[in-house]
Chain A
């Protein structure tokens, strides 16, 4: 019952609404006219007072004209072109000049490495495109006319080394500065093998003490580096002077050198040590007065020296044992 009642009511309501909507239609038209009126009024109300009328300048942004990207030079390169002319000197990588399908760089898995265009990876690494074998050959040909033939009889290093024991190393510098001088160019390195110099035991020891760390024990090479004079020539002379002075000085025996104690010895010498004294004391035990003194054998002396100078190892110690047993008459098993 209630439902049918509401439906009735709804219907009656709709019928009452209808005349209202028609009224609204009419009023809509009147509203349009009203809206047009205020626009006219606006123009009149907000006039701009231009006291100093300025010409409106329409500054259009200038278009930057870019040339079209020219196709890479490689497309125009002949297959048999002279590469040394295309790439004459050291230069960082340029994709348009190198007719190679190079790729370099990291990408996602499975994707191809980035191509050579706009590829920073290829520009970062040094290249040797200016040092191709033909380029080197060409440059060698060019400087050949300045060369003299290699002297006969000095073909191998073994052959020329004895004639030129002293090695002198200097460095020339090329630079684009107003001056052609480079302070580093004054440095002179003179090196030679110590075995090329003749010494006696004392002189050799003294020489090594004089030159100090300029001597490399492993390679037996003596090296003087001089840079205290302003010119290369002076430094070279000074290095040779040092060598000569040290060499001759090492043959001079000063009076204070006699006071060299055991702690100053660079080597253990049997002759000046307790080992010799005890060995002789044992050998001459209970010897008659005036009897000739027995000395320790040379082989014993040698093995003691070896044990101490070379350091201990099973071999040296076994040798020492053998010699001691021989000297003390200990019956071996």
Chain B
């Protein structure tokens, strides 16, 4: 078996050599201000293959909404300031440095001089101005627009000289430099014309000719085959060099295959048809661990992710809707003791073990142990106790009928359903466990799997549900992306949407805390505010937090510099540093 594996490896390497057509990296030009990755080394050449669950929809970084498209676009484009996915800190990218004013409103960015787009065209402040104009243009409908409009006012962007740009925010914004992450800088020389002519959204679709698309990322488009793959090749003008001042990226090519499903991703990785895999479920990860004898791979368990999964109660205002049945159940859900009883009865340890195969962490708040900078270490982690739960219910006026079923003060049996997405087997499993946990309290709980969008429709539009199991988060470690969940008028204030004012005192306090942390520039003070917010949330339980999966990823042994991160895009964030080893190391093991 091993012999066959070796043979396939050789065939793969040979195939890699056949791809010799990739452009050689350009020699550095005098005056070109390149970024140096001091601790990166590798070898030139080779190509890697990545399996994607579905086909990207567009290569336009301004209009792309889906994760798959962004995964590809992220390799073709670059931003001014980048969040290093490994350290979770910001670092210079196209801007070699930046200064924030004392009031936290003004950011002055120094651009790198002499760097070029992937078609050889120089990059300067005019491209930055153009890019921000496009992002903030209402007619373009960019999903990133809302980030740049703060308090309803757009950011002011001015050019100070050819390589200096100033951004003025309408009010102080903590960690404001993080806003620049993920905003791809666009080539004005290619996009101004379609933008002026009003068909920007249609440009850079999948069928774009490789000559018509250029970016500042490590790769550039080589070929798209409908339904099958996108191949990107080395950008010979890329602005980063390694420890030996050699221009990155190392790889000649990167191919994105559209494989269909998570299982197909795993199987093709196992068969050696793809080289890297991320967002693995624990079951698939364990499978790959077991298969290591047949297939040499480097597997990484990066610890808890930033995602949080929770049981959500429908506390929406239902007046004007014909949902009397749900409204009746809301009298239970509104009772804090009822929610506390449920939280006490839920067996989080079992969830981690059975749902995540022990590769995950239990949660009692919205910030998990994976977010080391912001997690409140003092948050209580009470043990599961059915006894506590029963006491709580009793003190809230609930009792048990002779059949052992829980009834409320009015004598009505407690019966409700948990809605969850049928395509997410992990959340389905959580729902089934919670259902069983709560049956020990005499609650009759029904698991209702729904197709994903049908569920979203109920939660955001019709409010026709009792409770739901969902997951949020995972984008960035900073508290700011969480604003829309915890402020009373936030768009993801799931338990009570469209509030005109905070419905409860604690929601008012939570809202104030979140607003305050957003304008507080000092980390320690911000942390204090956010800690208090976490405590409020876990005391009042609008969500009963359940757990978070670990980030699990894998790569073929021949992939060098494989350093997966907890943040999206888990394995490809350092695509410019990845390389193909000429000989496989002996001791690639499970971390």
Question: Are A and B physically bound partners?
Answer: no
Which B residues fall within an 8 A CB radius of A?
A: none
